[in-house]
């Protein structure tokens, strides 16, 4: 009986560590992409990737932080965007940034 409990505990520990390793690898990959992002579309895609990570790893706050940071950075990247014509789109991104900050607090 003790052997079976030890085996189950070991299996649970290994699966938790494997999930943490996968999380760390995906975060590193996306963080390296953050440095190479240049266009507003790059930052939007990066934000979506971080949000997916955050949705998969409910106990982690860092993906939501980087999702918000990517959206915030996106607003500064393209200075040629007509702010009046794209006001609704910009507002939707700002709302999304505030949703990410709300998720950080919870």
pLDDT value, residue 103: 61
Residues 34, 32: Cα–Cα separation, whole Å: 5
pLDDT value, residue 56: 92
Confidence of residue 13 (pLDDT cuts 50, 70, 90): very low
Residues 83, 33: Cα–Cα separation, whole Å: 27
Mean pLDDT for the stretch of residues 42-49: 90
Residue 105 C-beta-side C-alpha neighbours within 13 Å: 5
Residue bearing the bigger pLDDT, 82 or 47: 47
Contacts of 39 (CB under 8 A, 6+ apart): 77, 78
Q: What is the pLDDT of residues 27-36, one digit of tens each?
A: 999 999 988 8
Q: Among residues 27, 64, 29, which one has the least CA distance to residue 48?
A: 64
Q: Among residues 58, 66, 68, which one has the least CA distance to residue 30?
A: 66
Confidence of residue 45 (pLDDT cuts 50, 70, 90): very high
Whole-model pTM: value is 0.65
Task: Please give the radius of gyration of the chain, using alpha carbons only, rounded to the nearest integer.
Answer: 19
Q: What is the pLDDT of residues 52-103, one digit of tens each?
A: 999 899 889 899 889 888 887 877 776 665 566 666 766 776 777 677 666 6
pLDDT value, residue 10: 38
Token pair, residue 12, equals 């649970």
């Amino acid at each position: 009986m003790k052997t079976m409990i030890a085996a189950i505990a070991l299996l649970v520990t290994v699966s938790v560590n494997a999930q943490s390793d996968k999380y760390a690898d995906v975060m590193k990959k996306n963080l390296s992409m953050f440095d190479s992002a240049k266009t507003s579309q790059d930052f939007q895609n990066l934000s979506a990737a971080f949000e997916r990570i955050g949705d998969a790893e409910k106990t982690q706050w860092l993906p939501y932080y980087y999702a918000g940071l990517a959206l915030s950075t996106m607003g500064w990247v393209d200075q040629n965007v007509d702010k009046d014509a794209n006001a609704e789109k910009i507002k939707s991104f700002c709302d999304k940034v505030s949703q990410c900050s709300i998720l950080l607090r919870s």
